[in-house]
Structure 1
């Protein structure tokens, strides 16, 4: 029985997600990595070997995965350390990692709580919460000019959750639009201490001010017509704050993190937890640079405001608890945070009629729709299971859950650029190998 469950887990899709590296810096030679940490993944030897190989090949200093099916205990797989320093602690289930865009599914589920309670409507106009969005304009040449025309449709909450609002992102904007985002401080993410110092000089200090500044910039497309990766979930954080009457970060803490016992998930890493916080590296042409050392990271400071699209630090154990709740239809350890029908809605295809999910790389996901803050697989294919919902982070973190088949997985690692680890191709194969081994062992015991 256990082997059969893991057979299903091995077929899960690691579909497109995550964001793009905002900027690259001059590389330095990667130091020789320390010996891998003692294995915690003996029940998943192929997955363990994959992770060990990444460490041995100097592709990462350390990596951790958490995989679960049904009510079976989570299987953790870890290798290496949280930094290339020889004295760095071993990577493990409670190590802390920047999850970047894996913040978006958390923000989306927080929004679903308020949708369930009737405090937000899925198809409410955004202007109901921030009137500045009532009369938006649309760029006529998004890559070359700020010339614009009046929008003919309002932005809705659905469109914020699904990246179809017509909003842009500093990581994919070009030309005058990018300069306008930078001028207004529409920069809702942290990279490292030097870039953070520059961003704080122009960035707004409240979510409400952030949202109102966003409303002054023309859209890249008519709302509800195009999937375009965006700051929509950051604006969603401002809506959650307005609709709940509670600071966004406090709402997420009290309605998600506390009931799910996610004690290692932060917008600001406490000083006492720095020792388990990973360093983030950038790798270019096989060389590595500690782009954000843990000891000097801006994540140790209170952010300008809580970034709903890219601001969280978490552990494999904590994020697994979030995914376990989604997998089980809104409940974990007897504590319900969302109704099953709300989870079903959130993990369904919420795209406006006629809109196709193209992924961060256009054309990459013809088999997927988009739900609340993450892709949704629409049909079974080899290595792909319908109903899988998830998203990735810029530093190669990945996460998914399937409430229909009741399974989930998360991988934590901090290495730029996004996609530099072939996890989407190699991890499903490793999990399938482990599943087949388990299935065979189970058959031998019959």
Structure 2
């Protein structure tokens, strides 16, 4: 992505109104020290309409935010890995309704918790086995350790399920999960979870390659995403951002130092949240999505498969508000559906924000986000490094600001 060619008029957007995006972010977040820095890019009709860079990528070393800053994208990994699995589906190597235990035999006979706590659970047999579709749609019965709401997520914390400690692998996670019951019968509810980490494991089992190798050969290399990987390379460390959180007094404090990061030399290839990337790289991924699966002559996935992935797969076309089990996700619940790795806007009026019906998106724990609006031929990428993503409503504010700038 050439960040030197910014042309709002070629994208039929108001330059004056676009400037309001950066003014708002600097005035409300960067200058008061609520975030260290941020980068916002708006793409429309294959034109870079807006680019705003503010603040610092590393406060401790007083390093500025730059257009080639490397960010932890956390759950913005999920759409990439979901696309990867579906490229294998396009080759006829599995069915969405295949039981997961076809590829993970030790999961055959997984039970559902009825009572008790780890390690003494009372369980029952689920209504049906977990399907691959359930993993992609977060209807698998799995959970996350940080949900802080059930005995199952408490067990995840005790066992450190999917925690990227040195030497931990996808195989370790699979073996741990084989010993634990599910939160609910697959297909009954929606619950944000380690399901996409399991999707990454399936990519390995079905393709015969490691997840990093498959992502590079199938997505990153064809799209020219040269800065995206599971660990920053040595030559990237000088532009790797530090990550921050807020203390009890709402002061910004260091959460993960760029130069001694937990991301350096990782062995756990988290399909749910492990990638680092740049805004330019992620915009290339977005351009592929806007191109209905193709970009720069490289077809990653078919347009019909992408249509299937971005459709609402929730039962009876419900929104998340009616089927989600836990409160936390990377999206609002009202007026939002969920497909195979993406949230989708199914009712902007109920949702309360202006992205077009049929737009699709996700975000990451460090407050990064993106969305794709096929009707408006629009893609937006926002990068910062603040945990958790629920701290500020960046998505809602950016939706209002970006759509106000359409001519």
Same fold (TM over 0.5): yes
1:333 maps to 2:296: yes
**Which residue in 2 is equivalent to 1:44?**
18
**Which residue in 1 is equivalent to 2:382?**
411
**Which residue in 2 is equivalent to 1:444?**
none
Q: CA deviation at 1:292?
A: 0.6
CA contact (8 A) 2:9 2:49 kept: no
1:295 maps to 2:259: yes
Corresponding residue to 1:324 among 274, 287, 297 = 287
CA contact (8 A) 2:212 2:229 kept: no
Cα deviation, 1:41-67, whole Å, max 9, x if unaligned, reads 988211121222221111111100121
5 Å-filtered alignment, 1:4-403, equals 44-53=18-27, 54-73=29-48, 75-85=50-60, 87-88=62-63, 90-141=64-115, 146-174=121-149, 176-189=151-164, 199-200=165-166, 204-205=168-169, 207-284=170-247, 285-301=249-265, 303-353=266-316, 356-358=319-321, 361=327, 364-381=332-349, 383-403=354-374
Measured on the aligned residues, the alpha-carbon RMSD in Å equals 2.5
Q: CA deviation at 1:209?
A: 3.7
Q: CA deviation at 1:383?
A: 1.1
**Aligned-partner SS, 2:68:** coil
Q: CA deviation at 1:71?
A: 1.7
Distance in 2, matches of 1:59 and 1:142, equals 42
CA contact (8 A) 1:142 1:220 kept: no
Q: CA deviation at 1:372?
A: 1.8
Q: CA deviation at 1:84?
A: 1.6
CA contact (8 A) 1:401 1:409 kept: yes
Greater Cα offset, 378-387 or 48-57 = 378-387
Do the aligned partners of residues 279 and 374 (structure 1) sit closer, same or farther apart at CA in structure 2, a change above 3 Å counting? Answer: same
Q: CA deviation at 1:268?
A: 0.8
Distance in 1, matches of 2:184 and 2:320, equals 15
Distance in 1, matches of 2:211 and 2:288, equals 20
**Aligned-partner SS, 1:416:** coil
Do the aligned partners of residues 179 and 432 (structure 1) sit closer, same or farther apart at CA in structure 2, a change above 3 Å counting? Answer: closer
CA contact (8 A) 2:367 2:385 kept: yes
Distance in 2, matches of 1:418 and 1:335, equals 33
Do the aligned partners of residues 159 and 222 (structure 1) sit closer, same or farther apart at CA in structure 2, a change above 3 Å counting? Answer: same
**Aligned-partner SS, 1:102:** helix
CA contact (8 A) 1:45 1:434 kept: no
Do the aligned partners of residues 188 and 307 (structure 1) sit closer, same or farther apart at CA in structure 2, a change above 3 Å counting? Answer: farther
Distance in 1, matches of 2:8 and 2:50, equals 12
Distance in 2, matches of 1:368 and 1:391, equals 11
Unaligned runs of 5+ in 1: 11-40, 190-198, 440-446
Do the aligned partners of residues 251 and 418 (structure 1) sit closer, same or farther apart at CA in structure 2, a change above 3 Å counting? Answer: same
Do the aligned partners of residues 86 and 129 (structure 1) sit closer, same or farther apart at CA in structure 2, a change above 3 Å counting? Answer: closer
**Aligned-partner SS, 1:282:** strand
Distance in 1, matches of 2:337 and 2:159, equals 32
Unaligned runs of 5+ in 2: 1-6
Distance in 2, matches of 1:430 and 1:321, equals 23
Distance in 2, matches of 1:249 and 1:167, equals 24
Distance in 2, matches of 1:97 and 1:315, equals 6
**Aligned-partner SS, 1:234:** helix
Distance in 2, matches of 1:355 and 1:185, equals 33
Q: CA deviation at 1:239?
A: 0.7
Taking structure 1 as the reference length, the TM-score comes to 0.81
Do the aligned partners of residues 135 and 263 (structure 1) sit closer, same or farther apart at CA in structure 2, a change above 3 Å counting? Answer: same
Q: CA deviation at 1:260?
A: 0.7
How many residue pairs were aligned?
390
Do the aligned partners of residues 259 and 188 (structure 1) sit closer, same or farther apart at CA in structure 2, a change above 3 Å counting? Answer: farther
Q: CA deviation at 1:6?
A: 5.2
